[in-house]
Structures are given as structure tokens and as C-alpha cells.
């Protein structure tokens, strides 16, 4: 066993170890997705595990670190493999709360801890040759019950909205494979047919600082 966090619950540590073994030498994306889909429901249906995690978050103690900066403000990383092989992330959804339409830089398996987690997938109708332009149409949607999963793929094959159409809080648990080297996500405005780059918080600050520095130097 190679512990990634000494305060991590044993159920999550065991899942981490199984995934490290099962995915380490696997290059086939569909095989990786099938493996995680078979493993993830064990965590999703462990209500006592998530009661403990929510208590820690509410009391601001122990695992997980809810203060870690993330692209989405309802996202809490549970672990990130040190070699970048995969990550596991918890999402907290308020009533009728959804993400904006976005893509991903990796394949992923999305799972519902509580019933009512919705995933709406989109097809990109344009060829992507015009920077800042995107034409999307809805292709399918899933409303997951507790323990159920669906999957996503990188770039244009994984454009979706995820969230909670109900009036009570919902939890989802998402597993993502190795991140492909692009460095940003695309956020889409379906009605205006626009696409915008979204950077991780640290990278966004670096980019904005560089732009500000360039502006400030003009006056020297």
C-alpha cells in the first residue's frame, strides 16, 4: 500500500490502491472506464463514509481539504495520484444548481452518491476551426440514482452540463483519468454560440499577472 493521505478513510484508500493496480498499465480508454464503473459503486453506496466526510467539512477538520482551490467552487478533491494517473473528486450540489456547459481534458466516470444527479451531454456541430465559436446541440441526458454512473470523454466528445434539478442537496463523486496536456477547459455559451477558455486558478493568476506586467512596463 502507498498511502496518499494518512487521514484518508480506509475505504477510499483501498479504492485508490485498486485503481493504481488496475489502471497502471492500461492504455485502452474504454477498458479503463469499464474498470472504474465496476469499482466506483462500492464507494457511492457507502452512506456512512459520506456522512463522515460531510461532518469533517462542516466542522473544518481532517480529511478532505475543502479549502483547496479548484476550477469549480463546489468541487473537493479526495485524491490526486502523484504520477497524474487519475483523481477522485467530490461535488456538492445545491437546489437547481448546474455547471455551465464545458468539456474535459480527460476521460471520466461520474457517479451519484444521492439520487437526482443529472448529466446533459452535447454534440459539437461545428468543426472547431473558429476560435471562440461553438455550435452545440443536446445529444442525451441521464438522471442518475444512488450508485449509478455514466462516463465522459476528452475534448469535444465530453461536452456536458452536470448538476441537480431537485430542491434538495445532491452529492456526486467523479473519477478522472490522466489529464491530456492542453492546460485549460472550454466553457460554452450555447445560445450565443461562444467558447471561452477556462484556466485552473493558479494558472489563471499567472496569465493575468503576465498581462498586467506587460501593461505596466509600457509606462516605464
For 171-194, what is each residue's pLDDT tens digit?
Answer: 999 999 999 988 899 999 999 999
Which DSSP state fits 219?
T
DSSP string, 78-100: EEE-TTSSEEEEEEEE-TT-BPP
Using one digit for the tens of pLDDT, what is the confidence trace for 40-65?
999 999 999 999 999 999 998 889 98
Residues 89, 95: contact at Cβ < 8 Å? no
Go through the domains of the chain in sequence order and give each one's CATH number: 10-217 (2.60.120.10)
Exposed e or buried b for every residue in 67-80, given b needs 16+ CB within 10 A?
A: eeeebeeebbebbb
Tell me: the pLDDT tens digits for 107-138? 999 999 999 999 999 999 999 899 999 999 99
Q: Binning pLDDT at 50, 70 and 90, where does residue 71 land?
A: confident
Q: Which residue has the higher pLDDT, 33 or 204?
A: 33
Give the global pTM: 0.89
Amino acid at each position: 500500500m502507498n498511502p496518499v493521505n494518512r487521514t484518508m478513510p480506509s475505504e477510499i484508500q483501498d479504492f485508490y490502491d485498486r485503481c493504481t493496480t488496475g489502471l497502471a498499465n492500461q492504455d485502452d480508454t474504454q477498458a479503463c472506464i469499464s474498470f472504474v464503473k465496476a469499482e466506483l459503486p462500492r464507494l457511492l453506496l457507502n452512506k456512512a463514509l459520506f456522512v463522515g466526510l460531510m461532518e469533517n467539512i462542516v466542522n473544518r477538520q481532517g480529511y478532505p481539504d475543502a479549502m483547496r482551490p479548484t476550477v469549480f467552487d463546489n468541487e473537493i478533491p479526495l485524491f490526486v495520484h502523484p504520477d497524474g494517473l487519475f483523481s477522485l473528486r467530490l461535488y456538492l450540489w445545491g437546489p437547481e444548481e448546474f455547471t455551465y456547459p464545458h468539456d474535459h481534458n480527460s476521460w471520466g466516470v461520474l457517479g451519484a452518491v444521492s439520487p437526482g444527479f443529472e448529466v446533459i451531454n452535447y454534440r459539437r456541430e461545428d468543426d472547431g476551426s473558429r476560435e471562440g465559436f461553438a455550435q452545440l446541440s443536446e445529444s442525451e441526458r441521464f438522471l442518475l440514482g444512488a450508485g449509478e454512473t455514466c462516463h465522459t470523454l476528452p475534448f469535444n466528445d465530453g461536452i456536458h452540463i452536470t448538476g441537480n434539478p431537485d430542491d434538495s442537496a445532491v452529492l456526486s463523486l467523479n473519477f478522472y483519468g490522466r489529464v491530456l496536456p492542453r492546460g485549460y477547459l472550454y466553457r460554452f455559451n450555447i445560445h450565443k454560440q461562444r467558447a471561452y477558455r477556462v484556466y485552473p486558478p493558479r494558472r489563471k493568476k499567472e496569465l493575468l499577472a503576465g498581462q498586467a506586467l506587460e501593461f505596466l512596463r509600457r509606462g516605464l
